[in-house]
Amino acid sequence: MTGTATAATADRISAGKLRNGTPVEAVVLKNAVGVAARILTYGATLQSLIAPDRHGLPADIVLGHDDLAGYEDKQNYFGVTVGRYANRIAKGRFTLDGKSYQLPLNNGSNSLHGGGNGFDRSVWTIQSVSSGPTASVVMTLTSPDGAAGYPGEVVATVTYALDDRGSLTISFAAITTRPTILNMTNHALFNMAGEGATQGAMANRLTIPATAYTPVDNTLIPTGELRAVAGTVFDFTKGRIVAEGLRDGTDAQIGIGRGYDHNFVIDQGATALPKLMARLEDPASGRALEVLSTEPGLQFYSGNFLDGTVVGKRGHLYRMGDGIALEPQKFPDAPNQPNFGSARVDPGKPYRHVMIYRLSVAK
């Protein structure tokens, strides 16, 4: 986004109560170029992200719900902070320092996104809200030792910060009392044409600067191979319309995932500074999103399991392909696959992940 640098604002308001009576707050971050983000303390969730098109017309570009009941009723992970471990862990098991741990199985034979009662199902505590050149909210959550089978008491922090040019930075940090594993990310599903657009998100153009991805078995667990994308429907290095490869039944991996639900290899390890992971744009409106991160992998999920049973914002019925998730993270099942890098976090060595949603408009 371009425009005169003007202070961004942050407003803290009530968002209602959960069914058990727990109050939930929302913080709305706005800047002078028309970008606005609404964050809920329930799940540290990005409930909406408003972005203008080339004519200045705003649209909400993330899927979700208008009220808390929608997030409570069905766990679709729309915009939530995922933890303790994003993505899948095979059979819900991992070993650390010779001790085996068993996590809840909530995705067939695997544990997914923290086991079904993870960070996305918790109410986070607001630590600070600030306006200025960058508007921000800082939230924390304490996860007890043994929660969902994970070792160590973990104190996690998520910071959302919107600058005056249209970048929303999400910073994750955590400390632990015992050696554990952590892999936090945001699970927003995007449609750059606007949430609920009749054409869905499959006409969006996606670029991923990855030369390899991790193919999966029939339970969507990586096989351990790093497979070249060249010559396949997984090659997004030069950009392509998502729908082009989505129905290509000649690639067995598309059949297994019912579309794209795969980790792309951006790097072999974490980096100090965020680097480009993906670019998603809607050619018709000009809205564009760049995703940057310090993590090595990007899970691209094409909304394959949205089956028309979920009513989202403004009464929209979400179906397959209505949104695209671009989740920077450590590789799936990394605790069980040493060649995927370490997800270990130790006392005195805090966890850190910085990701950025950088919005712009193609003229």
Q: Is residue 67 part of a domain?
A: yes
| Confidence (pTM) | 0.96
* Cα–Cα distance list, 155 to 82, 119, 265 (Å): 14, 11, 29
Q: Is residue 252 part of a domain?
A: yes
Q: Is residue 27 part of a domain?
A: yes
SS3 sequence, 108-167?
CCEEECCCCCCHHHCECEEEEEECECEEEEEEEEEECCCHHHCCCCEEEEEEEEEECCCE
Q: Is the pLDDT of residue 1 over 50?
A: no
Q: What pLDDT does residue 269 have?
A: 79
Average pLDDT, integer, range 276-284:
97
Q: Is the pLDDT of residue 268 over 90?
A: no
**Tally of domains in the chain:** 1
Average pLDDT, integer, range 49-76:
96
Active site residues: 187, 327
CATH of the domain at 88: 2.70.98.10
In tens, the pLDDT along 182-241 reads: 999 999 999 999 999 988 999 999 999 999 999 999 999 999 999 999 999 999 999 999
Q: Is residue 101 part of a domain?
A: yes
Q: Is residue 57 part of a domain?
A: yes
pLDDT tier, 249 (very low <50, low <70, confident <90, very high otherwise): confident
Q: What pLDDT does residue 66 have?
A: 97
Q: What pLDDT does residue 2 have?
A: 41
Q: What pLDDT does residue 289 have?
A: 98
Q: Is residue 4 part of a domain?
A: no
134 is in which domain, residue-wise?
9-361
Q: Is residue 235 part of a domain?
A: yes
Q: Is residue 3 part of a domain?
A: no
Distance, in Å, from the CA atom of 346 to the CA atom of 328, rounded to the nearest integer, reads 21
**What residues have CB less than 8 Å from 315, skipping those under 6 apart?**
none
